[in-house]
Structure 1
Amino acid sequence: MLNRNPPMTEPAISGVFREPFQEQVAFFRQKLGNLVPTERWTDMQKEAHDKGFMVAGAAKADLLSDLAAAVDKAISQGTSLGAFRKDFKSITARHGWDYRGEFNWRTKVIYQTNMATSYAAGRLAQLRDAEFTHWEYIHSNAVAHPRKQHLGWNGLVLSADDPFWNAHYPPNGWGCQCRVRGRNNPDKVGQAPDDEIDPRTGEPVGIDKGWGYMPGNTVSATVTSLAARTVQWKYELAKAYLENLPEGLKDQFSRSMRDLPSTRDAARQFAGRVLDDRNHTEYQSMGLLTSEDVSKIQELKGLDVAGYDFALDPSSVRHIQKKHGDLKSEALRGQRAVTKEDYEKIPELLNSPDEITDSGLSHTTNNPLIEYSKVIGQDKYSLVLEYRKKRKMLVSTTFYIQGGN
C-alpha cells in the first residue's frame, strides 16, 4: 500500500527523491498543462515555476513534452539519475536539440532541481494540511560541500507564518538538499536572521539567484485537493492527476512516456523480476491510452476506456513464459519464443500499432479482450489485453511473436 508521507529522515538524494508521494506527484502534474518555451533559465522566475514546466533553451512543444515525460517518470516512479540521463540522451538526439552545457552537469541540474522542488512543494502542502504551528529548518548531512549559511540555519524553529520562509524555504539554491520539518509546541523558538540582501544576486545572503521563493506556495490548496483523491497503491501514481490535462496534450504526454528508453527498460526489467521470482510491483504501467485508442476500442467493443492505462500483469508474464517461451513448440506454430528482451518492444507496439482488433472474451473472467499487433523488423508482435473496469486498466494477458527465426 502507498505511504502518503515522505521519509522524515534525510538520507542521500537517492533515498529521498526516489520515494514518490501523492502531493509530490500532484504538484508536478498540475504544471503539465503549461509547458513554457524558453531561451534561458531566467525567462521563468520564482513562483511561475509553481504552475508551469520549462527546461532552459527548450522552445519546441514536442521537445518540451518529451522532456516533461522524462522528468515525470523520474518523479512519479522514482527512476534514477542514470535512467533519466538515458532518456535525455534519446530525446535530444531524436529532436536534434543542441542544448547548452556539458551532458552530465546539465542532466544532473534538470533532474535534481525538479526532484527537489516537487518534493518541497509536496511537503509544503502536507505541512499546511496538517496545520503545524512551527517549522524547523533541517540541513542535509549528505551534501559534500555545505553552504555556511545553510549550516547556520540547521535546527532553526520559527512560526509557520514567519516571513523568513518566504525566501528561505528549501531548496533555496542549486543542489540544495535542505528540508523543513513540522513542529507543534516546540520547547524553543528561534529568531529569524537579518534579511541582508546580497547585491550580486538580489536575494537574501545564502540564497542563490532566482531561488528566493517558496516552491509550491501558490498551489498548496490545489495540490492538497488533488492528493485527497485516494491513490491506494503505488502503481496508481503512474496515471494519477492527469485527467485535467487538455486531451491533445495528454495524448502527446502518453506517447512521449512510451517513447522513453526507461519505459522500455522498465517493461523488460518487470518481466525479468517476475520470471526470476524477485520483488516486483503489482502492475507495470505502460501509460495512458490516447484518445485515438479510446475511440477505436469504443468502436470495436462499445467500451468507454477514457482515463485507462495499459499495464503488464505478473500472472500474464508467467503465462507467456509457459505458453510462448519454448523454442520448439513456438516453431511448430510458426512463431518464436518470447524472451524478456521482447518486452522492450511493447511500448512501441502500443504507441503505433498496425492493427487493433476484437479478441473476444477471456475464458477465465469473461472480460472483453483487445489485441494490438505490429510488425517490427521481421517479426509481428501481438499483445492481447483484458478490460478491467474496476482498476481502469487494459492489462496484458498474452504476448506472442510470429515470423522470426
Structure 2
Amino acid sequence: MADYVQLPPWNKPFNEQLAFFKQKLNLPSERWDDIMHAAHDKAFMVAGAQNADLLADLHAAVSKAIDQGLGLDAFRKDFKALVAKHGWSGWTGEDSKAGVAWRTKVIYQTNMSTSYAAGRWQQLNDPDLLKATPYWRYKHSDSVLTPRPLHVSWDGLTLPHDHAFWTTHFPPNGWGCHCRVTPVNKAEFMQAVTAGRGPANAPALGNTQGIDTGFAYAPGANVDLSLRQVVQDKLITYPPAISKALTYDVNRRINAHEEIPNYVRHAIEDKAIKDPLWLGFVENDAEVSEIVGQDVNGYLVTLPPDTARHVENSHGYDGGDQRPPQPEDFNHLIQVLNDADDLRQGESSRHGQATVVARKSIGGEMFRAVFEVLPGKKNRALALLSFLIKQGKGGG
C-alpha cells in the first residue's frame, strides 16, 4: 500500500458526492470482501459490523464527514463513540492504538474516495459537459511518496468517455489511491494521441493488473442496478443472517434467479410451481416497520406463485379504468414498495398477519400492491398478496 503526503480535498464536498453516499443501503458483513465491485454503489458496509443500528450510525457518521467536510480526526472521534455506544468488539484493529488508527483511516479514506469518485462520475457524464469535453484523461496524484508504477504509467492517458478502460480503471484503483480523471476536448485528445497517450496505449480489455482486489469498477456507474441484480451477479456475499436466508433456510423455497416476467408466466401456466420468487429487500424498512408495528429490517420481498395466479384470475378489466397486470408489470413491484407515493397499513391477512398497501404512479397509471408481513426466522419476508393497476392516476 502506498504512503501519502496529504489527503485529497475532501473538505470540499459537493451535492453529487453526498447524494451518492446517502442512497446506499446498510448491509451487514463479516469480511471486507463480502461486497465486491459494483455492489459498493448500492451498499454501505464496514467489515465485521452486523448490527443494524451500529451500521446505521456508522453510515450517518461517514455521511456527516462528507456533508461537513470533516477530517479523519473528527471521524475517529465519532467512530470511537459509536463503538462504545453499541458495545462492538472483535473487529480487526481494536487491540492496539495503531490498529485503531489504521482501521479508521481505511473506513474513512475508502468511503471518502469512492463517494468522491462517484460524484465526479455523475458530473463528468453530464450531457452538456460531454458535448464540450467528450474525452477523459487519467491523472496520477503527485502527493504519493511511493507511487504504484502502473498508476504512474496511466498518467496522461486520454480516451473517449465511453472507452471500456473506464469501466475498470476509473479511480480510485486501490487502497489509498488518489488518482483522478479530468475532462478534455477533442483538440487535447488529438494531442494526447500524437504524444502516444491515446487509445492505442490503453491496457488490453480485461487487463486489471495494478488494480487492488475489489476496485476494478467505476464508482457511481452502477447506481441504477437493482440490489437483486447485484446479488444475482454474485457481487455480494452475505453474512450468516442473510446468506442462510438466501441459501440454506429459504433458497429451497425461494427462486432468486429467474427473470420476473418469465416466473409470472410459468406460475400462471403451471400450478405445480410452489416456490416463491425473490424480488429484493425491503429498502424503506424504517417506514414499513412503523406502519406495520414490527421490525422488518433485512426482510425479503417475495412473489408467491399463488398470488401471480390470483392476480391473473381476479384483477383483470373491471368495466372501468382497471386493467390486468401483464407479466412485465411485475418488474415494478419492488419500486412500488420501496419508492411508494403512498404507503399505509392494510387489513390483516387471512393468516392474521399485518399487511402494507403500497401505491405508486408509473407512466400515468396507478400501481397498487398489498404485501403480507411474514415474520419468523425462516420466512422473514413481505409477500405479495394482491396487485392491480388503474389506468390514469386513480385507484384506491
Q: TM-score, normalised by structure 2?
A: 0.50
Superposition pairs of residues 3-402 of structure 1, within 5 angstroms: 13-31=6-24, 34-98=25-89, 99-101=91-93, 102-129=99-126, 130-131=129-130, 132-185=133-186, 186=188, 187-189=191-193, 190=198, 191-195=200-204, 204-219=208-223, 246=284, 248=286
Distance change (3 Å), C-alpha of 1:220 and 1:14: farther
1:42-101 CA-to-partner distances (Å, cap 9, x unmatched) read: 111110110111111100100001100111111111111000001111111111112112
1:274-309 CA-to-partner distances (Å, cap 9, x unmatched) read: xxxxxxxxxxxxxxxxxxxxxxxxxxxxxxxxxxxx
**Quick check: 2:5–2:145 contact (8 Å CA) kept in 1?**
no
Q: Which runs of 5+ in 2 are unaligned?
A: 94-98, 227-282, 291-396
> Secondary structure of the equivalent of 2:43?
coil
- How far residue 219 of structure 1 moved from its aligned partner, in angstroms, is 2.4
**Quick check: 1:167–1:213 contact (8 Å CA) kept in 2?**
yes
1:332-369 CA-to-partner distances (Å, cap 9, x unmatched) read: xxxxxxxxxxxxxxxxxxxxxxxxxxxxxxxxxxxxxx
How many percent of aligned residue pairs carry the same amino acid? 51
Give, in whole Å, the separation in 2 of the partners of 1:91 and 1:250: 26
Distance change (3 Å), C-alpha of 1:110 and 1:25: same
Give, in whole Å, the separation in 1 of the partners of 2:225 and 2:19: 11
Give, in whole Å, the separation in 1 of the partners of 2:224 and 2:15: 13
Q: Which runs of 5+ in 1 are unaligned?
A: 1-10, 198-202, 223-244, 253-405
Give, in whole Å, the separation in 2 of the partners of 1:209 and 1:221: 21
> Secondary structure of the equivalent of 1:142?
coil
- How far residue 220 of structure 1 moved from its aligned partner, in angstroms, is 7.5
Distance change (3 Å), C-alpha of 1:146 and 1:109: same
Distance change (3 Å), C-alpha of 1:221 and 1:247: closer
Give, in whole Å, the separation in 2 of the partners of 1:196 and 1:81: 36
Give, in whole Å, the separation in 1 of the partners of 2:101 and 2:34: 23
Distance change (3 Å), C-alpha of 1:250 and 1:112: farther
> Secondary structure of the equivalent of 2:173?
coil
Give, in whole Å, the separation in 2 of the partners of 1:177 and 1:250: 40
- How far residue 12 of structure 1 moved from its aligned partner, in angstroms, is 6.7
How many residues align? The count is: 214
Give, in whole Å, the separation in 2 of the partners of 1:128 and 1:205: 26
1:90-116 CA-to-partner distances (Å, cap 9, x unmatched) read: 111111112112100000000000000
Amino acid at match of 1:46: H
Give, in whole Å, the separation in 2 of the partners of 1:249 and 1:104: 36
Give, in whole Å, the separation in 2 of the partners of 1:133 and 1:248: 42
Root mean square deviation of aligned Cα? 2.8
Give, in whole Å, the separation in 1 of the partners of 2:88 and 2:38: 27
- How far residue 148 of structure 1 moved from its aligned partner, in angstroms, is 0.5
Give, in whole Å, the separation in 1 of the partners of 2:92 and 2:137: 37
1:180-204 CA-to-partner distances (Å, cap 9, x unmatched) read: 001111222313433387xxxxx71
Distance change (3 Å), C-alpha of 1:251 and 1:147: farther
Amino acid at match of 2:136: W
**Quick check: 1:12–1:142 contact (8 Å CA) kept in 2?**
yes
Q: TM-score, normalised by structure 1?
A: 0.49
- How far residue 161 of structure 1 moved from its aligned partner, in angstroms, is 1.1
Which has the larger displacement, 44-53 or 186-195?
Answer: 186-195
**Quick check: 1:136–1:157 contact (8 Å CA) kept in 2?**
yes
Give, in whole Å, the separation in 1 of the partners of 2:20 and 2:5: 22
**Quick check: 1:158–1:192 contact (8 Å CA) kept in 2?**
no
Distance change (3 Å), C-alpha of 1:51 and 1:154: same
Distance change (3 Å), C-alpha of 1:97 and 1:192: farther
**Quick check: 1:196–1:205 contact (8 Å CA) kept in 2?**
no
**Residue aligning to 1:265:** none
Distance change (3 Å), C-alpha of 1:105 and 1:196: farther
Give, in whole Å, the separation in 1 of the partners of 2:289 and 2:114: 26
Give, in whole Å, the separation in 2 of the partners of 1:195 and 1:214: 17
Give, in whole Å, the separation in 1 of the partners of 2:288 and 2:159: 41
Distance change (3 Å), C-alpha of 1:208 and 1:163: same
Give, in whole Å, the separation in 2 of the partners of 1:249 and 1:111: 29
**Quick check: 1:134–1:159 contact (8 Å CA) kept in 2?**
yes
**Quick check: 1:14–1:80 contact (8 Å CA) kept in 2?**
no
Which has the larger displacement, 172-181 or 125-134?
Answer: 125-134
